[in-house]
Structures are given as C-alpha cells and as structure tokens.
C-alpha cells in the first residue's frame, strides 16, 4: 500500500467503466458531441477565430496564475500578451509568471500543431513546471522541474505525501 492511499484515500485515479453509464448520461454525451460537431463545422472569419482564441488564452492564463496568487487582472494579462504592458517593479514577478505561462502554452500549441507533442508523462509535466517557474524568485525548497521532497500545506489541506508525487502524476498522465 502506498502512503497516499492511507493519508488521501479519495485519490483513486480510476477511469469510469463507460459500459456502466446510465442511459441519460449517454444521451447528454450524444447531445454534447452533436453540439461540438456543429460548432467545429461552423465557418468563422479568421479575425473572429483569432479573437476567440485570444480571449480563451488570456482568460486561461489569468485564471491559472490567479490560482497561485497572481493578482494581475485580465486586462493587464491581455496587455502583456499584446506586448503593451510592463508591470511596475513591485509586480515584475507576476508579469514574468504570466509571460512564462504564455510561453509554455505556445510551446504546447506549436508541438500540437506539428504533431510532435507526444504522450503526456510525469517528465513532460516537470518540464512545463521548469518553463513556468523560469527566472522567478522562489523559496529554497522549490526545485524547478522536480517533484517536491517535503510535505506541503495549503491552508488546512496537507498535500499528498512527497514520495508519491511522481507516481500520482504519472497515474494522472496515464
């Protein structure tokens, strides 16, 4: 038995057997697929498609960095993306974090478009961690692109045991 199974028994990472889904779920999945097919085959002017892509990217980066405590707002993130904003020195760390996430997402997009992305693995995720944290001032216990080797707390929540992090990340990737 792994340590996380004792301390975090709710982490199962088991895929649902789709053969046992109720009929209502299959109906809703079918509706969702039909809507996706309709949307994907709807022609858009290139400028509209670019605007939608930019909105999704900016909102995604702003939300992703906000989870980690970044307080730059959506307009500031938009202006960083468009190379129209430089944060004051007191917020340069946050600007760098946003730029790093944009760079990592551009890397993923480039590889996805040219078919070289490959499978998601724990090592690939560590590589993206290295990109996102690049050139940031970090506490001494944070090691770029490596799994932690110590316990962490967020509020009253204790993270999964350090010795299980690589295993759990690979299970998630699988």
pLDDT at 121 over 80: yes
Tell how far CA 48 is from the center of its chain. 25
* Cα angle, residue 126 at apex, residues 94 and 9 outer, rounded to 5°: 100
| Residue-wise pLDDT tens digits, 93-103 | 999 999 999 99
Rounded CA gap, 165 and 7, in Å?
13
- Residue with the bigger pLDDT between 155 and 104: it is 104
Query: How would you write 119-136 as a 3-class SS string?
Result: CCCHHHHHHHHHHHHCCC
| Residue-wise pLDDT tens digits, 65-78 | 999 899 999 999 99
CB atoms closer than 10 angstroms to residue 65 = 20
Which residues are bridge partners to 157 per DSSP? 154
- 154 — pLDDT class (breaks 50, 70, 90): confident
Q: Contact at 8 Å (CB) between 161 and 7?
A: yes
- Cα dihedral 5, 11, 16, 22 in deg (nearest 10): 110
Specify the pLDDT at position 5: 95
Mean pLDDT calculated for residue range 23-28: 96
Q: By three-state DSSP, how is residue 43 classified?
A: coil
pLDDT at 16 over 80: no
* pTM of the model as a whole: 0.82
Mean pLDDT calculated for residue range 122-139: 94
């Amino acid at each position: 038995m792994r340590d996380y199974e004792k301390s975090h028994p709710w982490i199962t990472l088991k895929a649902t057997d789709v053969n046992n889904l109720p009929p209502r779920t299959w109906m809703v999945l079918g509706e969702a697929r039909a809507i996706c097919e309709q949307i994907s085959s709807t022609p858009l002017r290139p400028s509209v498609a670019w605007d939608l892509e930019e909105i999704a990217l900016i909102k995604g980066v702003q939300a992703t960095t906000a989870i980690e405590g970044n307080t730059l707002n959506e307009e500031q993130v938009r202006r960083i993306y468009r190379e129209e904003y430089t944060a004051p020195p007191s917020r340069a760390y946050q600007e760098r974090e946003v730029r790093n996430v944009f760079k990592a997402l551009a890397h993923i997009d480039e590889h996805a478009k040219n078919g070289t992305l490959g499978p998601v693995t724990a090592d690939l995720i560590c590589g993206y961690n290295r990109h996102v944290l690049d050139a940031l001032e970090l506490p001494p216990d944070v090691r770029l692109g490596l799994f932690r080797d110590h316990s962490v707390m967020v509020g009253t929540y204790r993270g999964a045991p350090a010795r299980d992090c690589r295993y759990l990340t690979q299970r998630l990737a699988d």
